[in-house]
């Protein structure tokens, strides 16, 4: 199959590109390198450097004739969405509509959408959240991801476009950008290796569901073969505090970095954990990496590439 991966030079997208190519698919990447990295680009993929909002996207769809679109491109920083919701909406809503509209006009069969299993639920009513949990996003980023899912439903109902929305928990692993505001594992690795302060926001007792990038990739591989439409949580169902992440990374790096706390950040949830049961039942997906395994591989990557 011919598959477009938007954001295919990014952290998660580049791993997905690698997996699709290894499975024999013809892969095309659209990336504007706002957060993507050129060395992440698989040389066997065809690359178009542009923004997903650009008119050039229409030419790419007409030329390539994709079977599947895997949409990973996004503004994914919760704090940036709070400080600049217009920028967030242009990327995550208008850019996605451009992809969807070109998809239906050029006979794309399926769209796989990177949604959010944390931000879309907001402050949870119960733990872990399943897919029928109330959707009450507390940040513009979460609102845009929920809006993306609604547009998928619209295009499915009106044009017959098949879709799978994957609600990611907190993804971590090799290639994650340590220079942004998101991605606490990458940030801690980078700061400790650089002997710079690694500040924990708030008391560090806030929890997240940390899922390893290789497990997320496997969900995207299975989604390409899934028949029908569906929304699936992609997480571990286990809560981990930021303090534990800090201390585990510190131990793996044999660092003497002191634990230092700063102010809590606006728009961040206190607890976030999602149930992967539906993905196991329908996609035959489950996480294969526990936290220690994933952090070991991640720390080794940052040590080698620091």
Does residue 9 sit in the same domain as residue 120? yes
Place of tokens 């024999």: 24
Does residue 15 sit in the same domain as residue 26? yes
pLDDT of residue 266: 73
Q: Are 8 and 217 in contact (CB under 8 A)?
A: no
Nearest Cα to Cα of residue 160 among 203, 103, 120: 103
93, 152, 288 from 84: Cα distances, Å: 14, 24, 36
Tell how far CA 96 is from the center of its chain. Answer: 15
Does residue 166 sit in the same domain as residue 265? no
Exposure class string for 46-68: b at 16+ Cβ within 10 A, else e? bbbebbbbeeebeebbeebebbb
Q: Note down the domain range covering 104.
A: 2-171+212-237+274-283
Over residues 132-153, the pLDDT tens digits come to: 999 999 999 999 999 999 999 9
pTM score above 0.95: yes
177 located within any domain: no
Over residues 166-188, the pLDDT tens digits come to: 999 999 999 999 987 679 999 99
Does residue 150 sit in the same domain as residue 199? no
Does residue 36 sit in the same domain as residue 113? yes
Catalytic residue among 48, 141, 155, 172: 141
Q: Are 210 and 240 in contact (CB under 8 A)?
A: yes
Q: How confident is the model at residue 265 (pLDDT cuts 50, 70, 90)?
A: confident
Does residue 152 sit in the same domain as residue 268? no
Q: How far apart are CA 161 and CA 110, in angstroms?
A: 6
Over residues 212-230, the pLDDT tens digits come to: 999 999 999 999 999 999 9
CATH number at residue 254: 3.90.25.10
Q: How far apart are CA 255 and CA 249, in angstroms?
A: 8
Tell how far CA 46 is from the center of its chain. Answer: 22
pLDDT of residue 162: 98
Does residue 50 sit in the same domain as residue 60? yes
Least confident of 77-81, 139-143, 154-158: 77-81
Q: How far apart are CA 194 and CA 188, in angstroms?
A: 10
Does residue 81 sit in the same domain as residue 127? yes
Over residues 15-28, the pLDDT tens digits come to: 999 999 999 999 99
pLDDT of residue 302: 98
Does residue 278 sit in the same domain as residue 154? yes
Tell how far CA 235 is from the center of its chain. Answer: 11
38, 54, 291 from 201: Cα distances, Å: 31, 36, 21
Average pLDDT, the chain: 96
Over residues 241-255, the pLDDT tens digits come to: 999 999 999 999 999
In this predicted structure, the answer to whether residue 52 has a pLDDT above a threshold of 90 is yes
Does residue 9 sit in the same domain as residue 141? yes
Known active-site residue 212: no
Does residue 162 sit in the same domain as residue 202? no
Q: Are 72 and 12 in contact (CB under 8 A)?
A: yes
Q: Are 33 and 96 in contact (CB under 8 A)?
A: no
Number of domains, the chain: 2
Does residue 7 sit in the same domain as residue 106? yes
In this predicted structure, the answer to whether residue 236 has a pLDDT above a threshold of 80 is yes
């Amino acid at each position: 199959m011919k598959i477009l991966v938007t954001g295919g030079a990014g952290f998660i997208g580049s791993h997905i590109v690698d997996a699709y190519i290894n499975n024999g698919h013809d892969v095309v990447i659209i990336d504007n390198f706002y957060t993507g990295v050129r060395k992440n680009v698989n040389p066997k993929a065809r690359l178009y450097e542009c923004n997903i909002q650009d008119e050039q996207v229409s030419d790419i769809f007409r030329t390539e004739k994709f079977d599947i679109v895997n949409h990973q491109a996004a503004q994914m920083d919760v704090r940036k969405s709070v400080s600049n919701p217009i920028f967030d909406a242009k990327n995550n809503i208008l850019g996605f509509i451009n992809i969807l509209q070109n998809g239906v006009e050029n006979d794309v069969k399926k769209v796989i959408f990177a949604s959010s299993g944390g931000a879309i639920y907001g402050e949870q009513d119960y733990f872990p959240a399943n897919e029928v949990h109330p959707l009450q996003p507390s940040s513009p980023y979460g609102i845009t991801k929920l809006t993306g899912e609604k547009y998928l439903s619209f295009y499915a109902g009106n044009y017959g476009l098949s879709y799978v929305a994957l609600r990611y928990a907190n993804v971590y692993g090799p290639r994650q950008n340590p220079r942004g505001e998101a991605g606490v594992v990458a940030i801690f690795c980078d700061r400790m290796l650089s002997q710079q302060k690694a500040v924990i926001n708030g008391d560090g007792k806030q929890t997240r569901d940390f899922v390893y990038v290789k497990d997320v990739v496997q969900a995207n591989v299975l989604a390409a073969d899934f028949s029908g439409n569906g929304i699936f949580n992609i997480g571990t169902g286990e809560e981990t505090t930021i303090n534990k992440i800090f201390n585990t990374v510190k131990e793996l790096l044999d660092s003497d970095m002191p634990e230092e706390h700063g102010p809590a950040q606006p728009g961040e949830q206190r607890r976030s954990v999602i149930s992967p049961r539906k993905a196991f039942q329908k996609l035959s997906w489950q996480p294969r990496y526990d936290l220690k395994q994933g952090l070991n591989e991640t720390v080794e990557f940052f040590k080698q590439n620091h």
